[in-house]
Amino acid sequence: MLTYRSCVVGVFLNAEGHVLMGRRQDRDAWQFPQGGVELGESEEEALYREMKEEIGCSEFSILQKMPDVLSYDFPSALDRPIAKLYKGQTQRWFLCQFFPSHGPQLDQAVDEEFIETKWILPAQAIDTVVEWKKSVYQSALQHFSLLSFP
């Protein structure tokens, strides 16, 4: 029986209230930088390692850490290697901010997961992400008080 993969997600906030999204190189999809927690690694250690690997920068501070994890299942039609190993992902979300004069540097990234990044409004992040991740994005952004409702 397949289990959930333990992951961390970095939501980077800038001074204008925008969040950082990355466009994946393997398919036309946008997402927050994220990655798996390795055996013996704390979630914070995984966050700094994954951000260095994916966006080329580990020069940031953690503003908030969600107390609970969020989970989603991979859709049955997802034809990716990860979907054959796991049922879905369990994610710990972190609200982060780059140190002054630092930010994403894809040319410094170890992985080639993203081919570009952009700063967008938090509500746009929900519209941009694949359908099966929308509810966890909304829950996390609401937790961090980044979404406003009338």
pLDDT band at 149 (very low <50, low <70, confident <90, very high): low
Backbone region of residue 42 per phi and psi (left: phi > 0; alpha: psi in -120 to 50; beta: other values): beta
Whole-prediction pTM: 0.94
Domain boundaries, the chain: 3-143
Q: Cα separation of 17 and 54, whole Å? A: 22
Contact (Cβ atoms closer than 8 angstroms) between residue 42 and residue 61: no
Instruction: Quote the pLDDT of residue 27.
Output: 79
pLDDT, average across residues 57-67: 98
Which one has a higher pLDDT value, 97 or 77?
97
* Overall residue count recorded for the chain in this entry: 150
Tokens 């980044």 sit at which residue?
146
pLDDT in tens, 11-56: 999 999 999 999 998 878 899 999 999 999 999 999 999 999 999 9
pLDDT band at 102 (very low <50, low <70, confident <90, very high): very high
CATH topology of domain 3-143: Nucleoside Triphosphate Pyrophosphohydrolase (3.90.79)
Q: Cα separation of 141 and 12, whole Å? A: 11
Classify residue 130 by burial, with Cβ atoms within 10 Å: 0-12, 13-18, 19+: middle
Question: Which tokens go with 114?
Answer: 């993203």
Question: Which tokens go with 79?
Answer: 């034809």
pLDDT band at 105 (very low <50, low <70, confident <90, very high): very high
Around Cβ 122, how many Cβ atoms within 10 Å? 21
Which one has a higher pLDDT value, 9 or 77?
9
